[in-house]
Amino acid sequence: MPAAPLASVLFVCVHNAGRSQMAAGFLSHLAGDRIEVRSAGSIPGDQVNPSAVEAMKELGVDIADAQPKVLTTEAVQASDYVITMGCGDACPIFPGKKYLDWALEDPAGKGVDSVRPIRDEIKTRIEALITEIDTRHGA
């Protein structure tokens, strides 16, 4: 029987089509099943940004099958960490959760060349988050 995840992380951006999908892709790729990963948007888009998909593919992370999902109160309640990326006040607040707001440029409408620096910043933040979770939860 596999061990329970150390923590659950929810990434939230407006359209759940770029930043939050890249963050979820990196966290799943780098942490495996040690950390439960969710992503959602306050106003989800129709599809994941193709430039984000391409930029992630360059680093061996496949998010091509990801679909934007609507942010629900249940997803927030079920998460230990809630990381917002420009969704403002749309994210419900519950006691006992760790909330982080990552100020990241929105990749919407940008080509892959402009998305790469956003992707790289997200990867750096994800690596630091994994270290924090491992330290805090005794991995």
Positions marked catalytic = 13, 87, 91
Helix (H, G, I), strand (E, B) or coil at 3: coil
Helix (H, G, I), strand (E, B) or coil at 108: coil
Find the angle CA(26)-CA(31)-CA(34) to the nearest 5 degrees: 140
Indicate the DSSP class of residue 80: S
Structure tokens belonging to residue 126 = 């994800």
